[in-house]
């Protein structure tokens, strides 16, 4: 079981082990399932773009069909999260912490809603680990207008998938040897996407200490 979970957190293993369909499932799960927050969405999408050009025999799909499929998985994932939040409602705030669920993840996402509002949060959340899993769920809990939610859902999915997969796809053309440095690129991306979350956490702590 733990070996399987380890594979799910490694972008290379996901694509090598399950190919395109496992890739799409992970994108869906990270944005649509409550326990999907630990999955490596950003790195996986970047890697998919790189491998689509560097190892087309592994991806078995051209770049634009790949983008369409990944966007569809991301949109359906958010839609599932929205539906889950709408069904569960405020009971989610009373749920006890477990191995794969923490109330602090909900609180962090609520802080983004308070700071940026619903529309911007649903788009920005795509680029923020943890927040992207809980943003559609909270949208369902607070009953954000469905059509407004879907508009932000599609815009966010397009921005997320196109930017990361596009960077990966074109980097290979400019720097063919980039596949030898994937570990460093993944670490850089993890740090980069974590910075806004850390900044918000520390600013909240500073505000609380001043009160």
What does the DSSP assignment read for 136-191? HHHHHHTT--HHHHHHHHHHHHHHHHHHHHHHHHHHHHH-GGGGGGHHHHHHHHHH
Round to whole Å and give the CA distance between 52 and 169: 7
What is the predicted pLDDT for the residue at 1? 41
Whether 13 is covered by a domain: the verdict is: yes
Tens digit of pLDDT for each residue in 104-132?
Answer: 888 888 888 988 888 999 999 998 888 88
Whether 120 is covered by a domain: the verdict is: yes
Whether 106 is covered by a domain: the verdict is: yes
Query: What is the band of 60 on the pLDDT scale with cuts at 50, 70, 90?
Result: confident
Round to whole Å and give the CA distance between 28 and 133: 10
Q: How many distinct structural domains can be found in the chain?
A: 1
Average pLDDT along the chain: 80
Round to whole Å and give the CA distance between 29 and 108: 20
Mean pLDDT, rounded, for 173-194:
65
Nearest to 74 by CA among 144, 8, 135: 135
Question: What whole-number percentage of the chain has pLDDT above 90?
Answer: 32
Whether 210 is covered by a domain: the verdict is: no
Q: Which domain holds residue 114?
A: 2-205
Q: Per the confidence metrics, is the pTM higher than 0.75?
A: yes
Whether 55 is covered by a domain: the verdict is: yes
Higher pLDDT, 20 or 185: 20
State the Cα angle at 21 between 20 and 23, rounded to 5°.
65
Whether 63 is covered by a domain: the verdict is: yes
Query: Tokens in use for 43?
Result: 């790195």
Whether 156 is covered by a domain: the verdict is: yes
Q: Which range is least confidently modeled, 92-96, 133-137, 160-164?
A: 92-96
Whether 211 is covered by a domain: the verdict is: no
């Amino acid at each position: 079981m733990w070996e399987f979970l380890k594979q799910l957190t490694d972008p290379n293993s996901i694509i090598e082990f399950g190919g395109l369909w496992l890739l799409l499932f992970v994108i869906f799960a990270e944005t649509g399932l409550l326990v999907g927050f630990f999955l490596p969405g950003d790195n996986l999408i970047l890697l998919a773009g790189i491998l689509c050009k560097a190892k087309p025999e592994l991806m078995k799909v051209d770049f634009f069909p790949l983008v369409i499929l990944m966007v569809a998985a991301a949109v359906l994932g958010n839609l599932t999260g929205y539906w889950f939040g709408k069904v569960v409602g405020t009971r989610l705030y009373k749920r006890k912490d477990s191995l794969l669920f923490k109330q602090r993840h909900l609180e962090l996402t609520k802080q983004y809603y308070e700071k940026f509002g619903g529309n911007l949060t649903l788009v920005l959340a795509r680029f923020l680990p943890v927040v992207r899993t809980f943003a559609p769920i909270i949208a369902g809990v607070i009953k954000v207008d469905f059509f407004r939610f879907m508009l932000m859902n599609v815009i966010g999915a397009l921005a997320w998938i196109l930017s990361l997969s596009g960077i990966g796809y074109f980097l290979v053309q400019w720097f063919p040897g980039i596949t030898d440095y994937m570990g460093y690129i993944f670490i850089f991306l993890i740090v980069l996407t974590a910075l806004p979350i850390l900044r918000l956490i520390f600013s909240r702590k500073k505000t609380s200490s001043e009160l």
